[in-house]
Amino acid sequence: MLVPVLLFILGLILLIKGGDWFVDGATGIAHRFHVPELLIGATVVSIGTTLPEVMVSATSAVSGHGEIAYGNAIGSIICNTALIAALTIAIRPSRVDRNTLKTPVIFFFAAAIFYVATAYIAGHFSRISGIVLLAVFVIYVTVTVLQVRKMPQAANTAASGSSEEAVLQAAELSPSEAGEASEEEGSMLKDIILLVVGAVLIAVGANLLVDNGTLIAQALGVPESVIALTFVALGTSLPELVTAITSLVKGHGALSLGNVIGANLFNLVLVSGLSVTLAPFDIPQNAMLAGHNASLVLDIPVMMFVMLFLTVPALVREKLSRTQGIVLLAVYAAFCTIQFVI
């Protein structure tokens, strides 16, 4: 039992570090091709922080463990919202930009309606439903790219600020030091290595997480979907947790809200979409609650509730309240407790 637990933890560490390096490498390469930073953040970084969930769910689905693929996607959304965002809001409430949140929120609930309808009506995620979810992902990225390209002034301002900062920094360096700094920053090879090694670590970490998470679940007699909804979901959401803590420390609480909503959307359309497209699976029926499938009466309703409770007040009032954070944390605690009781 000790070995699977240690390998499970190792898998989490590899996923987190691999995702970090992958994002750094991808961002570095994108910068060298003069891609605007706003565009990088809206696409490369957002996708990169969701790679742990993508790899875990895809690997699980292909290996015949649809419960983990299903539970990881929904569990990550609940964890991101009711734990990560909730902690940020409870500690330091902040104002939010309605225009920034509007697009990802609309896309999330549009995808969620399709996802929920499929779960309740069909009880099975077919390859077609996976393709539809992936199509939503492509449309969202396209819309985001077009929106960013319509804001050249902001991008140019950011780029100008970066250039001025670089000039000031270079002025403080001697010619030899400036040359060394330029050579270091210009290392395309370093970015490529980070990208490749990061991708490898993510793949290896995902395999360790899935294989040993399954062994632990079997040894404890706990359904795979429960492990996925709690431990696996929390582990693969650690990149978002780090982002939220960093944003909180720097006084940018609203930033973590945007990251959470974006990550939740990608969990629904990219993580679930890819998993189902690779290997269709049925809705897990490992536990019953009040005579009904727990997935349908607990997991999906909680997912929808926490997202509505987080986003609707933010869009209406353009600010977050400490009460929201406290309520969401209570919901997450109750959700995890019920998972291990039923």
Domain residues of the chain, as ranges? 38-170+222-341
Instruction: Report CA dihedral (169, 171, 172, 178) to the nearest 10 degrees.
Output: 80
**Residue 290 burial (10 A CB sphere; 0-12, 13-18, 19+):** exposed
Predicted pLDDT of residue 98 = 80
Residue 64 near residue 210, CB atoms below 8 Å: no
Check whether 234 has a pLDDT greater than 80: no
Q: Domain 38-170+222-341, what fold? A: A middle domain of Talin 1 (1.20.1420)
What's the pLDDT tens digit per position in 242-251?
A: 656 655 666 6
Check whether 88 has a pLDDT greater than 90: no
Residue 5 near residue 181, CB atoms below 8 Å: no
Which residue shows structure tokens 């809200």?
257
Q: How do strand 292-293 and strand 124-125 relate by DSSP bridges?
A: unpaired
What's the pLDDT tens digit per position in 275-334?
A: 999 989 888 776 667 677 778 888 899 999 999 999 998 889 888 899 999 999 999 999
Check whether 253 has a pLDDT greater than 60: no
Share of the chain above pLDDT 70, in %: 74
What's the pLDDT tens digit per position in 183-210?
A: 555 578 888 888 788 878 877 887 787 7
Check whether 218 has a pLDDT greater than 70: yes
What's the pLDDT tens digit per position in 111-147?
A: 999 999 999 998 889 999 999 999 999 999 888 878 7
Residue 7: pLDDT band with limits 50, 70, 90: very high
